[in-house]
Chains A and B, each alone.
Chain A
Amino acid sequence: MDKPRQDIESEIERTLSTLDEVERVSGNPFLYTRIQEQMRQSKTGSSSKRAAAWSLAFAVLLLLVNISSVLMYYQKSVQADQAAGIEAIASEYGLLDQEEDWEY
């Protein structure tokens, strides 16, 4: 093995062996307090999110009810107009009287 290659291999081994010298890190004594705080905040956050979701759902429902009422009203008035139109044409051509005659 030539010199540069040997140097590279020894550098690699030295670098890999630095892991043996890494010391373990001890935890933060206040970690539990921080976790409690984070959990409290996430609970508050999730309950306000839930409230917002309910409000949104209610608003959407209200909107749907409104839209369907308008549609139903419009449909009824169109039907009434159509019926009135047919009746007018029928009476104009005397169809209504003829209908009465046919009953005999």
Chain B
Amino acid sequence: MNDQNLLTALQTGSEQGYKELVDNYQEKVLNICLGYFPVYQDAEDLTQEVFVKLFETIDNFRGEASLSTWVYRVAVNKCLEKIRYRKRGKRMAFFQSLIGLEEHAGHVASHFDHPGVALENKERTQLLYQHIERLSDKQRTAFILHRMEGLSYQEIAGIMEVSLSSVESLLFRAKQNLKKSLRYYYEKQMI
């Protein structure tokens, strides 16, 4: 089924259409989610939420972008929504830790369970994810889509609804900030 037929099937509520959308895109969505949340169970739960959202909002899809752009956009927005939700939770946890109720720790710092990472690289990759987590939402999204998903600047611009030059600038700044953050970390380690 091509994207146009798949879209028609989805908009008519066809069971086959839903199943095909999941089959075609679940790997992409799962890997995007793992880019933001490198904990398999969290990423899988989020993938599920992304598809539920896609099915619920299929009637709003006007076909202005390709189906894959739309799927990526919903996945990215869902991940960013989750990050904001967790940040709110962290703020609460911080206040709780101030009054001695709970320990405060970063998400990636305390959990890392990415099944695509070899054991010998785990520590270093975890460190990298901790620093990716510190990037701004836009820089992080551009970085994940380009560096982890291998999407072109054009595709990223479509997903993030920004210009090509903005994508270039976001990626440049993301790499610079990542290097700066890692440099600071290693310098501290050497002291």
Binding site for B on A (CB under 8 A): 4, 7-9, 11-12, 14-16, 18-19, 21-28, 31-32, 34-35, 38-39, 42
Which one of A4, A7, A24 lies within 8 Å of B116 (CB-CB)? Answer: A24
Smallest Cβ-Cβ distance to B19: which chain A residue: A32
A-B contacts, 24 listed (Cβ < 8 Å): A8-B183, A8-B187, A8-B190, A12-B183, A12-B186, A15-B128, A16-B178, A16-B179, A18-B121, A18-B128, A21-B118, A22-B148, A23-B116, A23-B118, A24-B31, A25-B115, A26-B27, A31-B48, A31-B51, A32-B23, A35-B52, A35-B55, A38-B52, A42-B52
Instruction: List B contacts of A25 (CB < 8 A).
Output: 27, 30-31, 34, 40, 43, 114-116
Instruction: Kindly list chain A residues whose C-beta atoms are within 8 Å of the C-beta of B22.
Output: 31-32, 35
**A16–B179 CA distance with the chains assembled, in angstroms:** 8
Output the least CB separation between B164 and chain A (Å): 23
Do the beta carbons of A19 and B178 come within 8 Å of each other? Answer: no
- Least CB distance, B15 to chain A, in whole angstroms: 9
Chain A residue numbers with a CB within 8 Å of B55 are 35, 39
Q: Render B113-124 as a binary contact track against A, CB cut-off 8 A, 1 for contact.
A: 011111001001
Does B18 interact with chain A (Cβ within 8 Å)? yes
B182 interfacial by beta-carbon distance below 8 Å? yes
The winner among A9, A25, A26, A38 for most chain B CB atoms within 10 A is: A25
Decide if the interface of chain A is mainly helix, strand, loop or mixed: helix
Q: Tell me if B's interface is mostly helix, strand, loop or mixed.
A: helix
Q: Is the CB of A8 within 8 A of B186?
A: yes
Whether the Cβ atoms of A27 and B26 lie closer than 8 Å is yes
Cross-chain contact of A14 among B19, B124, B148 (Cβ < 8 A): B124
CB distance from A15 to the nearest CB of B (A): 5
Give the distance in Å from the alpha carbon of A8 to the alpha carbon of B55 in the complex: 48
Q: Are B27 and A22 in contact (CB under 8 A)?
A: no
Q: Tell me, in angstroms, the Cα distance from A62 to B153 when the chains sit together.
A: 60
State whether the Cβ of B47 lies closer than 8 Å to any Cβ in chain A.
yes
CA distance A9 to B186 in the complex (A): 9
Chain B residue numbers with a CB within 8 Å of A35 are 18, 22, 48, 51-52, 55
Interface pair A39/B26, CB less than 8 Å apart: no
**A96 CB to nearest chain B CB (Å):** 75
**By the criterion CB–CB under 8 Å, are B128 and A16 in contact?**
yes
A26 → B minimal CB distance (Å): 6
Q: Looking at A18, A22, A39, which has the most chain B CB atoms within 10 Å of its CB?
A: A22
Assess the B124–A15 pair: CB atoms within 8 A.
Answer: yes
